[in-house]
A and B are shown apart, each in its own frame.
Chain A
Amino acid sequence: MGAIDNAADVLAAESGEGGFWEDAYPVIPHPGELIVGIISFAILYFLYKRFVVPRLEAMLAERQRTIEGGIERAEAMQAEAKAALEQYRAQLAEARNEAAQIRDQARAEGQQILEELRVQAQEESARIVARGEEQIAAARQQVINELRGQVGGLAVELAGRVVGESLADEARRQGTVDRFLDQLDELAAGTPDGRSGSTVSGGTR
């Protein structure tokens, strides 16, 4: 603005006094500097347009391509990894199935073994019980037999002392003992109450 107003002064100063530029308003462009500025700017612009920027752009484009290539590679690798994961999962599922089958089978077998064991144990216990009963019966029989001998002898001796009569006669004694034991057997087989016992003893007498 000031520059336009003072253009005439500038031209006048060119031919005359050298002090004009020292006192000139700072907004008046100095022609020499303006020319140098435009030329420098133009040269630098040319260099940039011709060399610097195309080089940088080429590098950026190549980087872009590289990055895109890298992305593609990465995608391929990802797909591969995904496939591997799928496969792995399938295998895992298969293995799980198999394991479940094995487990079921093992459980069934275990059941069976248990059953067998139980049957065996029952048989064993039954056998033990039967033998025990046999032993008891045998022991009872033995006791009965023993008692039969001793009780007869004791009773006869007791009776002889009570009666005071010798029962030495073999034949008579034998008959008495037998009869007594028979009565005793009857007593054991029948209802063991006092009345039948007294009946027996009364009979014996």
Chain B
Amino acid sequence: MEGNLAIIGYGLSAIGPGVGIGLIFAAYVAGVARQPEVRGVLQTIAILGFVLCEQLAIFGIALAFVFS
């Protein structure tokens, strides 16, 4: 079996952001369902949170290529 351990590392590093992004958008959907008029504000905040969460996975993919 061939492959690279670094990619497994990337897979592991993607778990956390995956869960986090799911939580962020779940909260966003719940918030918009409860108060549709604040959608614009929530959207910006949700995307900001999504981005901050996603950066961990991006680190993961960058480092996976660094250590491959």
Residues of A within 8 A of B (CB): 1-2, 25-27
Which of B62, B65, B66 has the most C-beta atoms of chain A within 10 angstroms of its own C-beta?
B66
Q: Which residues of A contact B63 (CB under 8 A)?
A: 2
User: In whole angstroms, how far apart are the Cα atoms of A137 and B66 in the complex?
Assistant: 148
Residues of B within 8 A of A (CB): 62-63, 65-66
Q: Which residues of B contact A27 (CB under 8 A)?
A: 62, 65-66
Q: Which residues of A contact B65 (CB under 8 A)?
A: 25-27
The majority secondary structure among interface residues of chain A is loop
The majority secondary structure among interface residues of chain B is helix
Q: Which residues of A contact B62 (CB under 8 A)?
A: 2, 26-27
Known: A26-B62, A27-B65, A27-B66. 8 other contacts (CB 8 A): A1-B66, A2-B62, A2-B63, A2-B66, A25-B65, A25-B66, A26-B65, A27-B62
Least CB distance from B49 to A in Å reads 24
Some 10 contacts from A to B, beta carbons below 8 A apart, are A1-B66, A2-B62, A2-B63, A2-B66, A25-B65, A25-B66, A26-B62, A26-B65, A27-B62, A27-B65
User: In whole angstroms, how far apart are the Cα atoms of A2 and B65 in the complex?
Assistant: 10
Q: Which residues of A contact B66 (CB under 8 A)?
A: 1-2, 25, 27
The 10 closest A-B pairs by CB, nearest first: A2-B66, A25-B66, A27-B62, A26-B65, A25-B65, A27-B66, A27-B65, A2-B62, A1-B66, A26-B62
User: In whole angstroms, how far apart are the Cα atoms of A1 and B65 in the complex?
Assistant: 12
User: In whole angstroms, how far apart are the Cα atoms of A61 and B29 in the complex?
Assistant: 37
By beta carbon, the residue of chain A nearest B66 is A2
User: In whole angstroms, how far apart are the Cα atoms of A35 and B65 in the complex?
Assistant: 24
User: In whole angstroms, how far apart are the Cα atoms of A186 and B21 in the complex?
Assistant: 138
Q: Which residues of B contact A2 (CB under 8 A)?
A: 62-63, 66
Least CB distance from A81 to B in Å reads 33
User: In whole angstroms, how far apart are the Cα atoms of A25 and B61 in the complex?
Assistant: 12
User: In whole angstroms, how far apart are the Cα atoms of A27 and B63 in the complex?
Assistant: 9
Least CB distance from A25 to B in Å reads 5
Least CB distance from A47 to B in Å reads 28
User: In whole angstroms, how far apart are the Cα atoms of A108 and B8 in the complex?
Assistant: 108
